[in-house]
Structure 1
Amino acid sequence: MPAKEHLFISPQQAPSDSAQMPPNNPSNFSLCLICGDRARFNNYGALSCQSCKTFFRRNGFRPETVRPCTLVNKCEINMKTRHSCTYCRLSKCFAVGMTSDLIRKEDLKSSKRLSSTKNTQITTISRIVITSFQSQDRTILSDSQWTLLSNIVHAYDACNTISHIKQILNNSSESIDETKKDIIDPMDMLNQICESVILFISSLPDFRILTQNEQISLLNRNLHGVMGFYSTFVFRQIGIFNHANYLNAFEAIYGMNIISAIKNVMEQLDSNETIIKIALIILTFSSESYVDTDRNVDMDTLSYGTFRLLGSQNVYVELLWKYLTYQYGYGRAAVRFAQFIQIVLCIVRNLAMLHVNNEIHRRISDAIVEHIKQMLVFIESEPRPLWGKGLPT
């Protein structure tokens, strides 16, 4: 199971070892932080009942094997529902502070008691598991990188309109006559998605130091890839293809094969939103165009400033890699990073095919680019804080 967004722990939130395992007090009853059942002891880093302790011990090492949530990854977990959704229950265990490292410590103690002669071998195997699964060593990221990561998360959240888009989607689905499903205009939703990602990008210092012409050149070059990646993520978050009228509208434009390809990528896309947020910036500052749009290279004001883009991009690539290593350990970080690259290449391939073969898609893309240019002029004329600080969230 990919890590979920709410599992992200900032330096300020990360508990110390002493905070993770305060002394147990068997004389006091309290409530389990996961399901609300009676609990006496801190198990694996959080006050929890025996049921949730057993559950976490059984699943904490193997989150990737847990069946995904069938709803929206927000199931309520209590005593009655704790057996209904393994995905959301395990996510809540991690969110309240449980860590598999403490299971390993317990296993090591048991192993030492079982056989002192095999202690060295067992310890070595356990350390391999730690390396391949999860690091949680905060020193992997420097203080400045933690600050940068915090700023990215805040900027994205301040500009994020997914909940608003989801509301529009639901209202439109309820109000549309069943006989007129095919009249939905995807442009409205794509413009909403585009505005959200541009507001996010325009709050980045690396973007703000560019001139307006350079900003337009950069987005002319990379907007197709950024929008393709982000739209895939948003479509998954809002469950767009669960709404027949929108599914029909997009199928009418893109065809069944492309919709099937989008669904396939949606299933593979990482569910850790922090990864998505960093990835958007990496894609924005690419020095190569994702799709050949016949743009006039002579008018590209960044054509001789590739090193500037690589400087920005490298900062965020390093940040993504270190964050992945912090969250999952080296082995799983490498797998996730490779999967991210594979997904981007798949999206770019589909976009390139669409640009060549689908005239409606080209018109939609051109309209979005023009909309973005107008947005940038408006943003330039408005004093806006960096990193979205001060913007309503």
Structure 2
Amino acid sequence: MASAEKKSSNSRKDLICTVCGAPATGFNFAVITCMCCKAFFRRNALFGLSSLQCRYLSEKCSINIKTRRDCSYCRLKKCFDVGMKKELILTDESKRIKREKILANRQMTLNLIRPVDTFDIKRNSPVKPDHSANIANIYNAFEDYCFQPLVKFDRYEFEFVSQQPVKSRIKLQHYYQYYMTHEASLTDFFKRVPELRKFPEDQQMVLCKHNMRFLIRMSLMETRDPDLPLWPAINLLIETIFGKSLLEESDNLLRNFKEEIRDSKCIRLLLIIFLFSTHSSYNGHLDTLAIYDIQTKYTELLWAYYSEIYDYSVVCERFSTIVRHCLHLQRIGRDAEAKREELQRTRLCLESE
């Protein structure tokens, strides 16, 4: 039996992705592929080849482990050529049903194996009824002002821009429209927070704007369509400006963050927590102590919410995970800002010559 398991393990290691030649994990959408090509096919197959264009206009690019990210059109074409079936990709409704079954099974397992004494923290720090209502209000406000409108906007923009030539796709107007739409939706959401409305209108706008880029990145965990690129309509533009490596790092981070948290209420609470965040270099005319108190209130609300679900050690692990990913996201933001400033300086130098 041991030798059979060893043989099975070795055979899996010998599998080669039929798309790019990388080590494969098994059958994905009816073909042996690696995880990267599986994820790529899931994101792009439903939109078809008509939504893409060969980067080199030849439609004959060689696809291997080193070149697979160079041309999405030829990579998707090869996926279809080797037999990958888009019909096997779960629809949104199928994914919802599958997710509900997984959650139900997980909860059933927890109820069976979790000892009674692990719920001590639940008796010590329960979420009060008004706190539960507050969490529900935050969740619903984000749903109405961010999730639903932004999902529709991203899909519409992606389908619209995908039909245009490459030169038209990388115009800065697409970036400005994307950023302004996401900023407006998040601002509408934040203005439903009672504590923010206590500030004068001009100070509300200062709070919303000074941390907006970070907040937009974090909100993508909730609003992004898993079957679309990270920045649907402006993915090629973002890649052109900031580089492929930074784009892929952002994509992987947000996917991992979302996968490890797996809780929309938590992510939406985090947006409120980081709204009331002023870094050390902040010099705005705001009562930073009052802002800190509000941030502390929502942080404690998140802790109490988690404590209703998990025991103390798990809550600590969750907060540690959040801090680790947020620091990583901030570092990516700094790298992107440095790249943007470098491009601006280059453009000014060229204009002055």
Superposition TM-score tier, normalisation by shorter sequence: 0.5 to 0.7
* CA spacing shift, 1:227–1:181, aligned 2, 3 Å: closer
Alignment of 1:113-124 (within 5 A): none
Q: Which residue of 2 aligns with 1:207?
A: 196
Tell me the distance in 2 between the aligned counterparts of 1:201 and 1:362: 31
1:264 equivalent among 252, 256, 267: 252
The question of whether the paired residues in 2 share the 8 Å contact of 1:287 and 1:306 is answered with yes
Asked which structure has the greater RCO (Cα within 8 Å, sep 6+), the reply is 1
The question of whether the paired residues in 2 share the 8 Å contact of 1:218 and 1:285 is answered with yes
1:155 equivalent among 131, 141, 144: 141
The question of whether the paired residues in 2 share the 8 Å contact of 1:321 and 1:333 is answered with yes
Letter matched to residue 285 of structure 2: T
Structure 1 counterpart SS, 2:204: helix
Tell me the distance in 1 between the aligned counterparts of 2:130 and 2:344: 41
Tell me the distance in 1 between the aligned counterparts of 2:190 and 2:175: 23
Q: Which residue of 2 aligns with 1:273?
A: 264
Q: Which residue of 2 aligns with 1:250?
A: 238
Matched, 1:283 2:274: yes
Cα deviations by residue, 1:339-380 (Å, 9 ceiling, x for unpaired): 1111211111122232233238889xxxxxxxxxxxxxxxxx
Tell me the distance in 1 between the aligned counterparts of 2:204 and 2:301: 23
Alignment of 1:347-366 (within 5 A): 347-359=329-341
The question of whether the paired residues in 1 share the 8 Å contact of 2:151 and 2:223 is answered with no
Following TM superposition, by how much is the alpha carbon of 1:209 offset from its aligned partner in structure 2, in angstroms?
0.6
Tell me the distance in 1 between the aligned counterparts of 2:319 and 2:302: 8
Letter matched to residue 132 of structure 2: W
Tell me the distance in 2 between the aligned counterparts of 1:314 and 1:216: 21
Tell me the distance in 2 between the aligned counterparts of 1:282 and 1:323: 14
Q: Which residue of 1 aligns with 2:285?
A: 301
Structure 1 counterpart SS, 2:323: helix
Tell me the distance in 2 between the aligned counterparts of 1:229 and 1:282: 12
Matched, 1:182 2:170: yes
The question of whether the paired residues in 1 share the 8 Å contact of 2:151 and 2:225 is answered with no
Cα deviations by residue, 1:40-64 (Å, 9 ceiling, x for unpaired): xxxxxxxxxxxxxxxxxxxxxxxxx
Following TM superposition, by how much is the alpha carbon of 1:167 offset from its aligned partner in structure 2, in angstroms?
2.8
> What is the Cα-based RMSD across aligned positions, in Å?
3.6
Q: Which residue of 1 aligns with 2:302?
A: 320
Tell me the distance in 1 between the aligned counterparts of 2:221 and 2:94: 26
Q: Which residue of 2 aligns with 1:146?
A: 132
The question of whether the paired residues in 2 share the 8 Å contact of 1:181 and 1:246 is answered with yes
Tell me the distance in 1 between the aligned counterparts of 2:136 and 2:343: 36
The question of whether the paired residues in 2 share the 8 Å contact of 1:182 and 1:248 is answered with yes
Tell me the distance in 1 between the aligned counterparts of 2:168 and 2:226: 25
Cα deviations by residue, 1:5-27 (Å, 9 ceiling, x for unpaired): xxxxxxxxxxxxxxxxxxxxxxx
Tell me the distance in 1 between the aligned counterparts of 2:265 and 2:108: 19
Tell me the distance in 2 between the aligned counterparts of 1:205 and 1:144: 13
The question of whether the paired residues in 1 share the 8 Å contact of 2:277 and 2:291 is answered with yes
Tell me the distance in 2 between the aligned counterparts of 1:241 and 1:147: 32
Aligned residues: 253
* CA spacing shift, 1:72–1:249, aligned 2, 3 Å: farther
Following TM superposition, by how much is the alpha carbon of 1:158 offset from its aligned partner in structure 2, in angstroms?
2.0
* CA spacing shift, 1:205–1:88, aligned 2, 3 Å: closer
Tell me the distance in 2 between the aligned counterparts of 1:72 and 1:271: 19
Matched, 1:89 2:78: no
Following TM superposition, by how much is the alpha carbon of 1:143 offset from its aligned partner in structure 2, in angstroms?
1.4
Matched, 1:166 2:149: no
Cα deviations by residue, 1:185-222 (Å, 9 ceiling, x for unpaired): 22222222111111010111111110123223323432
Letter matched to residue 284 of structure 1: L
* CA spacing shift, 1:204–1:361, aligned 2, 3 Å: farther
Letter matched to residue 311 of structure 2: G
Q: Gaps (5+ residues) in structure 2?
A: 1-38, 43-88, 346-353
Q: Which residue of 2 aligns with 1:310?
A: 292
Hey, which of these two has a bigger chunk of helix by percent? Answer: 2
* CA spacing shift, 1:314–1:214, aligned 2, 3 Å: same
Following TM superposition, by how much is the alpha carbon of 1:174 offset from its aligned partner in structure 2, in angstroms?
4.8
Q: Which residue of 1 aligns with 2:213?
A: 224
